Amino acid sequence: MTAAGRSGVPPVYDDPACTSRQCSRCGHIDRKNRVDPATFACRACGVTLRADDNASHDIERKGETV
């Protein structure tokens, strides 16, 4: 069991392919949003972030909705 599970936090599955392509600001999903392995640039709203930062914000938002 994970540390989260031991503390009563339910696990949330998230498809890693989508978190790397989905914009954490507007939700737009597109393979072209990943400029390179380190850079995320949304084709819809124009936000530019480090790819890991974008993915972590996206995962956080999905966890909050559960």
Amino acid at 17: A
60/38: higher pLDDT: 38
Please give the model's pTM, rounded to 2 decimal places.
Answer: 0.73
- Is pLDDT of 64 > 70? no
Express as a percent the part of the chain with pLDDT over 70.
Answer: 83
Residue reference for tokens 């966890």: 63
- Give me the helices (H) in the chain, please: 3-6, 16-19, 51-65
Distances (CA, A) of 6 to 1, 2, 10, 54, 64: 7, 6, 9, 27, 19
Average pLDDT value for residue range 29-46: 96
